[in-house]
Structure 1
Amino acid sequence: MKKDKVRVRFAASPTGFLHVGGLRTALFDYLFAKKHQGQFFLRIDDTDQARYVEGAVDQIKQALERYGIVPDNFDDIYIQSKHLARYKEIADQLVAQGHAYECFCSPERLDKLRQLQTDQKQAPKYDRRCLNLSSEEKDKLRASAKPVIRMKIPAGESVLEDIVYGRIVTKNEFLDDQILVKSDGFPTYHLANIIDDHDMEITHVVRGEEWIPSTPKHLVLYQMLGWSVPQFAHLPLITKPDHKKLSKRDQASDALLYLEIFELEAILNYIALLGWNPKTEQEIFSKEDLMAQFDLPKINRANAIFDVKKFTWLNKQWIGKKELEQTIFYRNLKNIIKNKWGVGGEAIINPIARLVLGRVEDFWNLEQLVENEFSFFFTVPEYEKNLLRWKNMVDNEIKLSLNTSKELVAKLAFNASAADIQKIFFDYIGTGDKGGLLWPLRAALSGLKASPGPFEILSLFLVLPKGKEIISERIEKAIAKL
């Protein structure tokens, strides 16, 4: 298909909400269109009425709008179910030309056929029982059953020239006579999608690699109809680190949820890197950068691994480019603290925010992190005295250590930084045992085996008007346990 202008579509199925995989496809479509000053369209592939999910279309539109991936036809979206007459017209044409035929076989017969072929170690494939039925036989069968329409696969081979996967040759003898129209009159994806792409004058079809096995059938249909074939770019799977396919249950069931956890820029940046590689050292991409640099030939064939660590790192980079108080992270942290401990002023949130940000490893688990590692800032911790013990220290040594810390804390200024506090303590310790002084202090302040470091904890309390009093009280409480 030769067109002066790039025209791509995101064909969304309302059998579920827009998830990470769909978001990536939409983003790649959008970026490719922008790169080449083309057009990007949204199509709703709703011919699978049995699995239609109420509200899915609205969620898909809302997600694309909030991500800034707005299609050119946003006010007049192409909806498949509004074009049933067109699909019937083409299906009837294919039957009339001998490229398709009616099939009356029951699901039970087809199941038995598949089982027999499987038992004989053959690839499941329709046996064309209904191909040569007479008109009289069809009329008789039609009285008790509604037929499907199957395509009649011709001899020969189909050649796919894929932008990502290269040349793929398939012998047609291995292709099944695909159902084009179901017994309810609705077309299958295989028929509807090529009619829609033709009618919409789509130049490039971008979709998941799971459609590669079906593409030879689509090429056959283009040939039967005498239509120009668009260019295809199949995208690699998105997998988890264990190489299992990312499913809709893996924090990916609703693309809108990501906007409640991560910065918009970080999401677009990360999703773009799931399969696309600019072949440079650059990792931080604004939307403008992506529109300028993205291109389909730079997509990798290898599966894209959804790496939470990389996503977390990117999100932190984008948080660092903003005023902290204006970030999704800050809003969520503030809500967590307010809901859990009833406080939420900036004087409380600001000092703890950067410390939390430094320790977060997965933004999905922010609430758990705050509750597990930072509750000491809002409530007096309870713990066993053995937590205070560093290696083989005896109780009197721990008491001496805590009293020394108390004296050093008295020298600290209001709002002292962690670096300033560290200098005072390290100047005192010199070449001595750091753990013997710092472990009991950190444990006394936090009541935790694992927590932020003692200097960070002290700096947190020292932003409070009565911070030194709180520190002294916790040290005294620890001494009383010994």
Structure 2
Amino acid sequence: MSLFNLAYVRQQGGQFVLRVEDTDRVRFREDSERQLYDTLAWLGLHWDEGPDIGGPFAPYRQSERLDTYRPYVERLLAEGHAYHCWCSTERLAEMREIQQKTKQPTGYDRLCHGKTREERAALPGFSETPVVRMLIPDDVPLVFDDVIRGKVSAPRPDDQVILKADGFPTYHLAVVVDDHEMGITHVVRGEEWISSTPKHILLYRWLGLEPPAFAHMPLLRNTDKSKISKRKNPAARLTWFREQGYLPEALVNFLALLAYPPQQDAEGNDVEVFTFEEFSATFDWSKVNPIGPIFDLKKLEWLNGVYIRALPVGEFASRLLPYLEAEGVLSGSPSLGELGRLKLIAELIQTRIALLTEAPALVRPFFVPDEELQIDDDARALLKADAGQVLDAALAVLDDLDDRGLGLLGTGSGWSAPAIEAALRASIVEGLGIKPRLAFGPLRTAVSGARISPPLFESMEILGKASTLRRLRSLRGSV
């Protein structure tokens, strides 16, 4: 919702308003608001007005605007568009159960309408503190214009509660009042709110207010076409993507593609990789697909890999730091030497990962002390009978390489990846007649401790001669 809101706002030169709609105190959570700020900021979806930065229509938390709603409720009551309801929750539950059992339309039966407090108190299921309900007329407008869907028909609503017993308005009244008071021109929300729109249009009509334009976005679906739910799918929680190592710009690109066609190049070909600025510049509500898109994590992973490979290597290394710190690979304050080494490693793995969380396993061997390097079971299981012979040959030839004047990654002589490769190929592949795939497996295991690792010869160069030889000797002692 925020992405499509903001794309239109930036194109039109408008203001993106972040309003915290916290009138449902039963579901209220203290940390939700901060999580909302952090996630939108991480995605680069920055708002122009909101609770944290203020604005001309503050406050922007509905829980702080209760005095604003009361006059509107009193007006609706005075003009006969609303009434008090004293029905207890138990009485309402019993009413709904009977309606369902008898297959009647569900909805409030208007027991309280037209009654005084005293008259209603004489009947069963009475609650001391009333709510306020809308009195839905027979001519309620059920068809409205949607900027995405065109003419939309909604089911007839029942007498919606607009003011709860705790004095808080429901969403339906609060958004109508706030959208008017804050000068909102476009409301973009999920399609589940289509059925509520007739109530909102009624409130605008009764209060003599001009309604905004409505855009109801499609709901995202799982691969089985069910609605994405936080209870069933962790991907419904935006913080999950950050935890999993997705880049925010990749996620923004992906979310845009879910309900919007790809960009076009000069030849009219589809372009799936684009920036938010490119998306906003060509944005058109008529192009939004109203059919609920499938949330394909494999497509997102591919897109994330594209964005990772496009990063300058220094920035890529910086993006890795939080994940390396979280896994204990590096401390929160790495030294300049460690940062320099990380940049060299980053260049080796940038094309090999699709998620930033894949990096710690590849980076760890470069920062762990030689004597603490653990050999993974699956890597050890792949060692062949000739592993000892390969390690002996490698130790002999590498020990003779000169490690003075080290020029990392690209010198071609001394202790450099090209020199290391040439020496090992001559000694093991040509000298022992072992195929490269088998020849270098034991060396990869010795150096990284893993079956999958960054390029072998470059890894050896970064580790240095002394460290490489210690690791080769360590594995040789156990095979």
Fold similarity call, TM over 0.5 = yes
Q: How many equivalent pairs are there?
A: 447
Summarize the alignment of residues 172-251 of structure 1 with structure 2, pairs less than 5 Å apart: 172=156, 175-241=157-223, 243=225, 245-247=228-230, 250=234
Partner of 1:22: none
Partner of 2:453: 452
Partner of 1:416: 416
2:314 paired with 1:331: no
Counterpart code for 2:322: N
Counterpart code for 2:346: A
Counterpart code for 2:54: D
Task: Give the alignment's Cα RMSD to 1 decimal.
Answer: 4.1
Compared CA separation, residues 273 and 426, structure 1 to 2 (3 A): farther
> Contact 2:201 / 2:211 at 8 angstroms: preserved in 1?
yes
Distance across 2 between alignment mates of 1:41 and 1:388: 58
Partner of 2:404: none
Distance across 1 between alignment mates of 2:425 and 2:442: 14
Counterpart code for 1:355: L
Counterpart code for 2:373: V
3-state SS in 2 of match to 1:451: coil
Shift of 1:388: 6.3
Distance across 1 between alignment mates of 2:278 and 2:378: 55
3-state SS in 2 of match to 1:150: strand
Counterpart code for 2:321: R
Compared CA separation, residues 197 and 435, structure 1 to 2 (3 A): same
Distance across 2 between alignment mates of 1:278 and 1:314: 13
Determine which of 57, 67, 74 is the counterpart of 1:92: 74
Counterpart code for 2:62: Q
3-state SS in 2 of match to 1:381: coil
Partner of 2:465: 468
Counterpart code for 1:69: H
> Contact 2:393 / 2:427 at 8 angstroms: preserved in 1?
no
Partner of 2:119: 137
Shift of 1:105: 0.8
Compared CA separation, residues 245 and 365, structure 1 to 2 (3 A): farther
> Contact 1:47 / 1:187 at 8 angstroms: preserved in 2?
yes
Distance across 1 between alignment mates of 2:378 and 2:240: 46
Compared CA separation, residues 96 and 415, structure 1 to 2 (3 A): farther
Compared CA separation, residues 290 and 428, structure 1 to 2 (3 A): same
> Contact 1:35 / 1:294 at 8 angstroms: preserved in 2?
yes
Partner of 1:40: 16
Distance across 1 between alignment mates of 2:297 and 2:391: 39
3-state SS in 1 of match to 2:215: strand
Deviations 1:179-230 (A, max 9, x none): 1111222211111111222233322110122212222322333343343332
Unpaired segments ≥5 residues, structure 1: 1-24
Distance across 1 between alignment mates of 2:173 and 2:65: 12
> Contact 1:445 / 1:474 at 8 angstroms: preserved in 2?
yes
Deviations 1:293-319 (A, max 9, x none): 233332222334444444444444444
Distance across 1 between alignment mates of 2:313 and 2:470: 32
Counterpart code for 1:150: R
Partner of 1:358: 351
Unpaired segments ≥5 residues, structure 2: 265-269, 402-411
3-state SS in 1 of match to 2:184: coil
Summarize the alignment of residues 23-62 of structure 1 with structure 2, pairs less than 5 Å apart: 25-54=1-30, 56-57=32-33, 60-61=36-37
3-state SS in 2 of match to 1:47: coil
3-state SS in 1 of match to 2:19: strand
Normalising by structure 2, we get a TM-score of: 0.77
Deviations 1:111-155 (A, max 9, x none): 111111222233421111112325752587899612111112222
Which of 418-427 and 244-253 deviates more?
418-427
Determine which of 90, 93, 96 is the counterpart of 1:111: 93
3-state SS in 2 of match to 1:187: coil
Shift of 1:108: 0.5
Distance across 2 between alignment mates of 1:120 and 1:90: 37
Shift of 1:109: 0.4
Distance across 2 between alignment mates of 1:384 and 1:86: 66
Distance across 1 between alignment mates of 2:376 and 2:47: 54
